[in-house]
């Protein structure tokens, strides 16, 4: 029945474990998808914010055609200074250049000196070579049909077109490149003559407008600007689960990556998400693909690692709970089986004690009947009857004593009063108290008591009871060998002196399987029960209780068929050797 129950419980726990494992797996997959989607959304948001701030900064470096024609830079410088004073990210722009065609068709460069509030001539830096070539005024021949057909010019034409609206970002500098002069937005006129007029005006503006080259501070972008936006967007409940990295890809990398993937999607050279740092219109085209990428990675190493980590944690917790459940079930089963065994033992004990009482009572009954009926008149016979009755009463009294002692010890009520006890005396009294030793002459008792043995520190009655129990067992289980050896000596251990008392017999011995149990209450050797040797299984458990309550130990060694030897070790009355 119990085994069936255990089987069912184990099967149920196994089933739960499997289900748990499976479902946690499914939860992980869903979790992975949610995290991925959130990451993408946040990444897009971050990209938009970066773009917005850069756009905003760039939009300050613009002026109307009329102002430009007045040739006054005041408004431009004013606008730029105002932006710098009000923006959260004033470090975004490192320097502002203007490229302008002068009268003789030269493409000259000027740099804005903010503190002096004016524009100074500047040499073309090497990094601007591409811009200088691409936007030299003579090439801005947007409207020329013949040139437009030339294949070589096509790229530049497209560049100019894109530049009109938003400008673009030359990522290798990096710098925002745009026309300084704003173009008026208007509806495409219906009238062809008007359309032509507008077109001509636009071309004129393009040809005249200086080129604004707004150099962005890459270090500031990487160390301050993007990390700040990133932190604001990715911090949830005060914790930041992602790390930020920047990658610059060369055109060659891009090509090989595309070939390897076989697709055109520009993403993830590494990490959980890679977004383009400068996503503005036209930038990809001008730079031959995105250059700077912001790579976002989960702190656990990757999203997969984070999900695996969370799954591992969940698995540990749920399996921990299941194991705890299993352990509790096992403990409950063990305890209930132990309780069952104890209950059975107690019933056996009651039956055993009653049986034990029956024999001496029957003896007393028979002898006293004979005496009462006057059947025994001979003085010697009357004396013998007296001895028989006395022994039976002693046995009964001994048993009652044991049961009471056990009940007291079980309730934890026994109070001992240790005092120095002379061992020699105690042993003699215990031997004298045993009726078998007294009546049977063929017993050989060997005593080996060390001379000048210090007294033992113990409660005299309790120690006497313990020694008597062991001697009684030696007599009870003597088999054919009527021999008892009693040894007592002092031994110094760990700065304290102890007295060892060994009581040995050459009796039936104890089977190895019984040895670990003989000190348990109610335990009786199987062979002893089968042979109907009287007893209740309490003796040795009481001895152990007494010895341990005195700070002592009890040990047994036995060889089946050869005999047993019990050794008690108790503290000596003079205690600490150092003090002695
Ligand atoms: P009881 O003697 O009443 O059975 P005890 O607690 O005194 O109970 O002993 C427990 C068991 O230990 C005995 O039933 C017996 O099997 C075994 N035992 C104890 N002492 C001896 C001994 N000297 N020789 C052989 N077996 C012994």
* pLDDT at residue 519 greater than cutoff 90: yes
Better pLDDT: 574 or 125: 125
| pLDDT tens for each residue of 115-170 | 888 889 999 999 888 888 877 766 554 444 454 455 445 555 555 565 666 677 88
- Tell me how long the chain is: 580
Measuring from atom 2 of ligand 1, which residue has the nearest CA?
535
**Does residue 171 sit in helix, strand or coil?**
coil
Ligand 1 atom at minimum distance from 519 CA: 6
* pLDDT at residue 437 greater than cutoff 70: yes
Residue 284's pLDDT is 56
Partners of 169 in the beta sheet? 176
Ligand 1 centroid–CA 518 distance in Å is: 7
| pLDDT tens for each residue of 186-208 | 566 678 888 787 777 777 777 67
Q: 12 with 4: CB under 8 angstroms? A: no
* pLDDT at residue 283 greater than cutoff 60: no
Q: Give the residue ranges of DSSP H helices in 411-513.
A: 423-432, 435-439, 460-476
Q: Confidence band (pLDDT; 50, 70, 90) for 58?
A: confident
Most confident of 232-236, 263-267, 432-436, 437-441: 232-236
Cα 540 to Cα 206: distance, rounded to the nearest angstrom: 114
Cα 318 to Cα 261: distance, rounded to the nearest angstrom: 40
Which of 406, 540, 543 to mutate to test ligand 1, by most ligand atoms within 8 A of the CB atom? Answer: 540
Ligand 1 atom at minimum distance from 509 CA: 25
Per-position b or e across 72-83, b if 16+ CB within 10 A of its CB: ebeebbeebeeb
Residue 580's pLDDT is 36
**How far is the CA of 154 from the CAs of 140, 148, 150, 204, in angstroms?**
11, 6, 7, 19
| Token couple for 536 | 């209740």
| pLDDT tens for each residue of 458-488 | 999 899 999 999 999 999 998 888 899 999 9
Ligand 1 centroid–CA 495 distance in Å is: 34
* pLDDT at residue 281 greater than cutoff 70: no
Ligand 1 centroid–CA 525 distance in Å is: 7
Mean pLDDT, rounded, for 400-405: 84
Ligand 1 centroid–CA 544 distance in Å is: 13
* pLDDT at residue 565 greater than cutoff 90: yes
Cα 339 to Cα 49: distance, rounded to the nearest angstrom: 72
Task: Provide, rounded to the nearest whole percent, the portion of the chain with pLDDT above 90.
Answer: 39
Ligand 1 centroid–CA 524 distance in Å is: 6
Window from 268-277, 380-389, 525-534, 569-578 with minimum mean pLDDT:
569-578
| Token couple for 15 | 């089933």
pTM, entire model:
0.56
Residue 261's pLDDT is 44
Ligand 1 centroid–CA 466 distance in Å is: 13
What angle, rounded to 10 degrees, do the helices at 2-59 and 303-372 form? 160
* pLDDT at residue 413 greater than cutoff 80: no
* pLDDT at residue 408 greater than cutoff 70: yes
Q: 392 with 363: CB under 8 angstroms? A: yes
Ligand 1 centroid–CA 398 distance in Å is: 16
Mean pLDDT of the chain: 83
Ligand 1 centroid–CA 413 distance in Å is: 25
How does strand 444-449 pair with strand 483-493?
A: parallel
**Does residue 77 sit in helix, strand or coil?**
helix
Mean pLDDT, rounded, for 276-301: 76
Residue 95's pLDDT is 92
Which of 515, 518, 531 to mutate to test ligand 1, by most ligand atoms within 8 A of the CB atom? Answer: 518
Question: Which among 515, 509, 503 is positioned nearest to 564, based on CA atoms?
Answer: 509
Measuring from atom 26 of ligand 1, which residue has the nearest CA?
510
Mean pLDDT, rounded, for 351-375: 88
User: What is the CB < 6 Å shell around ligand 1?
Assistant: 473-474, 477, 505, 507-510, 514, 518, 523-525, 528, 535-541, 564
Q: Is 543 exposed, middle or buried (0-12, 13-18, 19+ CB in 10 A)?
A: buried
Residue 262's pLDDT is 43
Measuring from atom 14 of ligand 1, which residue has the nearest CA?
524
Cα 392 to Cα 350: distance, rounded to the nearest angstrom: 19
Cα 121 to Cα 119: distance, rounded to the nearest angstrom: 7
Ligand 1 centroid–CA 208 distance in Å is: 120
Ligand 1 atom at minimum distance from 524 CA: 14
Ligand 1 centroid–CA 386 distance in Å is: 29
Ligand 1 atom at minimum distance from 526 CA: 16
Measuring from atom 25 of ligand 1, which residue has the nearest CA?
509
Q: 485 with 564: CB under 8 angstroms? A: no
Task: Please state, as a whole number, how many other Cβ atoms lie within 10 Å of the Cβ of residue 486.
Answer: 23
Q: 107 with 207: CB under 8 angstroms? A: no
Ligand 1 atom at minimum distance from 469 CA: 7
Which of 405, 477, 545 to mutate to test ligand 1, by most ligand atoms within 8 A of the CB atom? Answer: 477
Task: Provide, rounded to the nearest whole percent, the portion of the chain with pLDDT above 70.
Answer: 86
Measuring from atom 20 of ligand 1, which residue has the nearest CA?
473
Window from 169-178, 231-240, 331-340, 344-353 with minimum mean pLDDT:
344-353
Ligand 1 centroid–CA 449 distance in Å is: 25
Mean pLDDT, rounded, for 380-400: 89
Residue 529's pLDDT is 87
Strand residues in 191-287 grouped as ranges (E) = 211-216, 235-236, 239-240, 242-248, 273-276
| pLDDT tens for each residue of 71-118 | 778 888 888 888 889 999 999 999 999 988 877 778 889 999 888 888
Ligand 1 centroid–CA 381 distance in Å is: 34
Give the single-character DSSP code of 265: -
Question: Which among 114, 75, 123, 76 is positioned nearest to 94, based on CA atoms?
Answer: 114
Ligand 1 atom at minimum distance from 523 CA: 10
Q: Confidence band (pLDDT; 50, 70, 90) for 184?
A: low
Ligand 1 centroid–CA 246 distance in Å is: 83
Cα 413 to Cα 503: distance, rounded to the nearest angstrom: 28
Better pLDDT: 354 or 282: 354
Which of 504, 528, 563 to mutate to test ligand 1, by most ligand atoms within 8 A of the CB atom? Answer: 528
Q: Confidence band (pLDDT; 50, 70, 90) for 579?
A: very low
| Token couple for 368 | 């006293």
Ligand 1 centroid–CA 460 distance in Å is: 23
* pLDDT at residue 439 greater than cutoff 80: no
Ligand 1 atom at minimum distance from 474 CA: 23
Better pLDDT: 22 or 205: 22
Q: Confidence band (pLDDT; 50, 70, 90) for 496?
A: confident
Better pLDDT: 80 or 283: 80
């Amino acid at each position: 029945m119990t085994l069936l129950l255990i089987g069912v419980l184990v099967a149920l726990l196994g089933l739960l474990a499997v289900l748990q494992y499976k479902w946690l797996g499914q939860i992980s997959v869903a979790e992975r998808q949610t995290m991925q989607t959130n990451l993408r959304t946040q990444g897009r948001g971050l990209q938009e914010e970066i773009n917005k701030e850069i756009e905003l900064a760039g939009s300050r470096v613009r002026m109307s055609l009329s102002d430009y024609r007045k040739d006054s830079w005041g408004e431009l410088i004013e606008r730029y200074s105002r932006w710098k004073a009000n923006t959260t990210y004033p470090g975004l722009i490192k320097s502002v250049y203007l490229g302008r065609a002068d009268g003789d068709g030269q493409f000259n460069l000027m740099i804005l000196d903010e503190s002096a509030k004016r524009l100074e001539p500047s040499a073309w830096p090497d990094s601007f070579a591409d811009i200088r070539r691409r936007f030299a005024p003579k090439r801005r021949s947007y409207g020329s049909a013949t040139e437009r057909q030339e294949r070589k010019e096509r790229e530049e034409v497209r560049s100019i077109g894109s530049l009109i609206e938003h400008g673009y970002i030359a990522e290798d500098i990096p710098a925002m490149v745009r026309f300084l002069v704003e173009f008026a937005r208007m509806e495409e006129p219906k009238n062809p003559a008007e359309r032509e007029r507008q077109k001509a005006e636009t071309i004129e503006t393009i040809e005249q407008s200086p080129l604004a080259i707004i150099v962005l501070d890459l270090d500031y972008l990487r160390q301050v600007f993007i990390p700040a936006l990133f932190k604001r967007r990715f911090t949830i409940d005060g914790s930041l689960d992602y790390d930020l990295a920047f990658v610059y890809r060369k055109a060659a990398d891009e090509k090989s990556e595309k070939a390897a993937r076989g697709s055109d999607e520009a993403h993830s050279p590494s990490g959980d998400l890679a977004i383009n740092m400068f996503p503005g219109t036209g930038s990809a085209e001008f730079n031959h693909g995105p250059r700077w990428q912001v790579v976002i990675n989960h702190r656990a190493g990757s999203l997969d690692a984070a999900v695996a980590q969370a799954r591992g944690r969940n698995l540990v917790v749920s399996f921990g709970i299941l194991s705890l459940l299993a352990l509790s079930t096992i403990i409950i089963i063990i305890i209930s089986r132990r309780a069952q065994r104890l209950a059975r033992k107690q019933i056996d004990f009651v039956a055993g004690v009653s049986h034990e009482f029956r024999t001496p009572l029957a003896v007393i009954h028979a002898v006293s009947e004979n005496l009462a009926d006057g059947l025994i008149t001979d003085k010697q016979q009357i004396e013998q009857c007296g001895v028989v009755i006395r022994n039976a009463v002693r046995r009964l009294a001994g048993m009652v004593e044991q049961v009471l002692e056990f009940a007291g010890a079980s309730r934890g009520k026994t109070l001992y009063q240790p005092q120095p006890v002379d061992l020699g005396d105690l042993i003699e009294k215990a031997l004298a108290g045993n009726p078998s030793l007294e009546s049977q002459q063929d017993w050989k008792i060997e005593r080996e008591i060390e001379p000048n043995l210090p007294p033992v520190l113990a409660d005299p009655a309790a120690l006497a009871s313990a020694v008597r129990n062991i001697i009684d067992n030696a007599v009870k289980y003597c088999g054919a060998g009527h021999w008892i050896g009693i040894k007592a000596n002092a031994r110094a251990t760990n700065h304290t002196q102890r007295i060892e008392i060994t009581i040995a017999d050459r009796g039936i011995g104890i089977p190895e399987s019984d040895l670990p149990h003989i000190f348990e209450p109610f335990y009786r050797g199987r062979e002893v029960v089968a042979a109907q040797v009287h007893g209740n299984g309490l003796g040795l458990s009481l001895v152990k209780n007494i010895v341990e309550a005195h700070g002592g130990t009890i040990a047994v060694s036995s060889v089946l068929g050869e005999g047993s030897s019990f050794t008690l070790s108790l503290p000596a009355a003079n205690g600490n050797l150092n003090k002695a």
